[in-house]
Homo-oligomer: A and B are copies of this chain.
């Protein structure tokens, strides 16, 4: 096979065969196809797209490009969860222990934040001593002993994805449904859970800006899961304003603990409980929606959910007292309050801009590998639909210095749109996409 022939074939709008896709991914992973051919090929895929069979083949080839964990061979059912990312999205932090407390094992590998969206790994690392770089043996031991493990994404899993993603990032080929779906699903298939819940965010603060694109991505990933034997369900959920009230790593960890206590902000709590119930239904642990909701509520009320978080934190070297007493988490030295410049209803909070503002405080990274400050961020005092008056508290800023706290105010205020008329909020969950 010749790489240039396959580029031409895709360029001309033809589907690549399974053998051709396997060859491309294998040769590229082993540096036998140079980046300049793969980038032309990726642009051709961006242009022409891939059908369901091609996308599934690409995903499997990437999943098979390195080590594979097959966690479901050791414990079953075992669930995995992935969110396409948003601002203030701490759902995984609460969802994983909540589901594990309900008797469903959770084996989760997770990544760092980049740009305006945070990463679950960074949020977890706000806990003192918590280790996320686990060997394969540690991962499997923690999972089987505690029914939950929360680890960093291993570079040995789906290395083709890591290599292709880095190339796509600098060649304008990120925003392809087929390539996004293959990238996400290849890592999930390499872990090898039995059930996967996807949270596809849609809205101004999300990667998918329209419901149509979000639905296409959700359907593509559910279809890949179906073809590859991984029971996958995708929730399409709103990311029109930051999720919950906390933005920033330790601040979001604290909010996740509140959710597990049943004391979190309503939007993010409901989303978390609903997704947990969906996982109980998918795995057959709950027999119907009412049963699932009841089990989730019981795990929260009994304290089993927050105890499960403390358990996994301890199992991975973290300090569980920081879960039991979240005030022990490191706090930013400067806290100041941004107040409302006018009276009225909050009509919109531009979450992408707010994510960027939090990066300025050190809560996120502009480039891979940058250090972040786990302590900084924002606590929203009011959300979309709330009414307030001039001078009412709007955002509590947690910053490293007075200067940074001051400097961020203008861009924070620019995130807000006000209305004289009341603002109606829609549902958090737009749709649930299940296998056909």
Interface residues of A (CB under 8 A from B): 3-4, 7-8, 11, 34-40, 42-44, 46-47, 167, 169-173
Supposing A34-B35, A35-B34, A35-B35 touch, asked if A40 and B4 sit within 8 A by C-beta, the answer is no
**C-alpha spacing A37/B166, complex, angstroms:** 12
Instruction: Give the residues in chain B near A173, CB-CB below 8 Å.
Output: 40
**C-alpha spacing A4/B175, complex, angstroms:** 13
**C-alpha spacing A70/B172, complex, angstroms:** 38
Looking at A8, A36, A167, A171, which has the most chain B CB atoms within 10 Å of its CB? Answer: A171
Q: Are A171 and B46 in contact (CB under 8 A)?
A: no
23 A-B residue pairs with Cβ-Cβ distance under 8 Å, sorted by A, are: A3-B170, A4-B170, A4-B172, A7-B43, A7-B172, A11-B43, A11-B46, A11-B172, A36-B36, A36-B38, A36-B167, A36-B170, A36-B171, A37-B170, A39-B39, A39-B43, A40-B40, A40-B42, A40-B43, A40-B172, A43-B43, A43-B44, A44-B172
Instruction: Give the residues in chain B near A8, CB-CB below 8 Å.
Output: 172
State how many angstroms separate the Cβ of A168 from the closest Cβ of chain B. Answer: 9
Q: Are A171 and B40 in contact (CB under 8 A)?
A: yes
Q: Is the interface of A mostly helix, strand, loop or mixed?
A: helix
**C-alpha spacing A44/B41, complex, angstroms:** 11
Looking at A4, A35, A43, A170, which has the most chain B CB atoms within 10 Å of its CB? Answer: A43
9 nearest A-B residue pairs (beta carbon): A7-B172, A40-B171, A35-B36, A43-B43, A8-B172, A39-B40, A36-B39, A36-B36, A40-B43
State how many angstroms separate the Cβ of A220 from the closest Cβ of chain B. Answer: 20
State how many angstroms separate the Cβ of A57 from the closest Cβ of chain B. Answer: 20
Residue of B nearest to A6 (CB): B172
Instruction: Give the residues in chain B near A170, CB-CB below 8 Å.
Output: 3-4, 36-37
Residue of B nearest to A9 (CB): B172
Instruction: Give the residues in chain B near A37, CB-CB below 8 Å.
Output: 39, 170-171
State how many angstroms separate the Cβ of A48 from the closest Cβ of chain B. Answer: 9
**C-alpha spacing A36/B47, complex, angstroms:** 17
State how many angstroms separate the Cβ of A34 from the closest Cβ of chain B. Answer: 7
**C-alpha spacing A74/B81, complex, angstroms:** 73
State how many angstroms separate the Cβ of A241 from the closest Cβ of chain B. Answer: 27
Instruction: Give the residues in chain B near A42, CB-CB below 8 Å.
Output: 40
State how many angstroms separate the Cβ of A115 from the closest Cβ of chain B. Answer: 14
**C-alpha spacing A39/B37, complex, angstroms:** 7
Instruction: Give the residues in chain B near A3, CB-CB below 8 Å.
Output: 170
**C-alpha spacing A47/B4, complex, angstroms:** 16
Instruction: Give the residues in chain B near A11, CB-CB below 8 Å.
Output: 43, 46, 172
